[in-house]
Amino acid sequence: MMRQRLMVAAIVMAVGLPASGALAGQEAPRKLVAPVRGEAKVEITKPDTKPGPKEVVTTMLIKNISSAPIAGLKIEENWYKGNNAVGGDSYRHPRPLPPGEVIQITLRVPRDKIVGARNQYQFTHANGTVKVTTVPKLELPKTTAAAK
C-alpha cells in the first residue's frame, strides 16, 4: 500500500515539474481586446486590377485606422455587365485586424467571365459596416506576408 502511494507521488512529481518549468518560461498570456462594433474605418490604396492570360488579378493594401481590432473583415469584388452580375471573388481575413496593421489582399476572377464588365467592392465586418477611405500610398511591413 505504501509502495503504491510512493509510485503515485513519483508520477505526479515527474509530470508536474516539467509542466511548471515550461509554464514559467512562457510569456504572460495576451490580453484580449474587444473588436470594433458598428462602423469600422479602413484606408485602402487604389485597387490595382491587371488582366492576365486566364484571370484578372486585383491587389490592394488595407490599413485598420479604427481604435480597436476589426473582427471578420470581408472584402467582396463583384463584376457586372450592364445590370447583370457575372462573377467575382471575396476575401475574409482569418484573424482580427489590429489597429494600424497593413495587409495586402489579392482577388482573382476568370478572365473569360468578365470581358467588358465593370467591378465594385463591398467591405463588411462581423460587427457592422466599414467606412473606406482611399489613400495614395500605404507601406506594407516587411515581416508581413501577402494575404491569400
Q: Which CATH number characterizes residue 90's domain? A: 2.60.40.10
Determine contact, residues 126/71, Cβ cutoff 8 Å. yes
**What does the pLDDT look like over 84-96, one tens digit per residue?**
888 899 999 999 9
Domain range for residue 83? 40-134
Contact 86, 116 (CB under 8 A): no
Q: Does 16 map to a domain? A: no
| pTM for the whole structure | 0.72
Task: Write out pLDDT tens, residues 125-141.
Answer: 999 999 999 999 998 88
Structural domain count of the chain: 1
Please check whether residue 107 lies inside any domain of the structure: yes
* Residue 82 lies inside a defined structural domain of this protein: yes
- Sequence-distant (≥ 6) Cβ neighbours of residue 5 within 8 angstroms: none
- Give the separation between CA 59 and CA 50, rounded to whole angstroms: 9
Quick one: pLDDT at residue 96? Answer: 95
In a domain, 110, yes or no: yes
Kindly state whether residue 144 falls inside one of the protein's structural domains.
no
In a domain, 115, yes or no: yes
